[in-house]
Each structure stands twice: as C-alpha cells, then as structure tokens.
Amino acid sequence: MLLQLAPENTLAEVIENLGEPVYFSGTEVSPEQAAAALFYPEKSLVVYAFVAGAESGTVSETSEIFAALYLSAEDMQEVIETSSLHDWLGYDSFQAYVERPFNVTPLPTVEGEGDGAETPEANETPEG
C-alpha cells in the first residue's frame, strides 16, 4: 500500500521513531529535485524523502517525507532481491550516495525460468 503524504514530517522525525534505515536508493527527478527511498526491511516499509537538487542536494534531517510504501514481508524480500541498493550510512549528499558502489544487487535468475518454454507440457504436441 502506497501512501502519498503531505510533506509535513522530516527524515529526522522518521529516524527518531523508526530508527536508522538499512538501505538507500536514489532517483533524480530533475536537476532541482531528487527522491531518496529509505528501506526498513524488518518493518516491510520504504519511506520516500525529497532531496533539493540531485547534484548539490543533501539527504538531511530536514528532508521532507512525501510517501510511505507498506509491503508484505514476501514482497519486501522480493524488492530487496531485485533492486540495486546502497547501505544507509547516515546523512550525506545525494551525489555521495549514488556514486558509491551498490551494496545489494539483484540476484541472478536462470534464463527462461518461469516462462514455460522448457517444461514438457509446453513442448507437447496435441497427439500426446
């Protein structure tokens, strides 16, 4: 469930109430704005904060929270397994985060897995 929020709460308030996030993912929206996704896997929660400027902005105590994504434990695990994420290292510039190597990268999958192409049923002819 995605909740879009009026930007009335700050990242400092979230951290005060929930503790430090585990992972960070950043997205540049425009040169003037970026979004920081902060992951709380044990709570199955992703909190989104505004960052003023992708090049010069900072993920800070005053970053405004604009959304929260609540997931099932299974969906959170899938998100983590299929995403490229940085470890949360505290408040820092947006650029410092996105320039670091990822700490979590998607798990490789077997080619063709799940498409039915290699199952006996998919290769059977109508004659049996």
Question: How far apart (Å, rounded) are the C-alpha atoms in residues 121 and 20?
Answer: 49
User: Would you give per-residue pLDDT tens digits along the chain (128 residues)?
Assistant: 988 988 899 999 999 999 999 999 999 998 889 999 999 999 999 999 999 988 889 999 999 999 999 999 999 999 999 999 999 999 999 999 999 999 999 977 776 554 444 444 444 444 44
Q: Could you say which DSSP state residue 112 is in?
A: T
Question: How far apart (Å, rounded) are the C-alpha atoms in residues 85 and 83?
Answer: 6
Residue given tokens 């059977």 in the structure block: 124
Residue in 59, 109, 108, 68 with CA at minimum distance from that of residue 86: 59
Q: Which residues pair with 86 in a beta bridge?
A: 24
Q: If DSSP codes are grouped into helix, strand and coil, which group holds residue 125? A: coil
Residue in 108, 88, 110 with CA at minimum distance from that of residue 100: 88
Widest Cα–Cα separation across the chain: 68
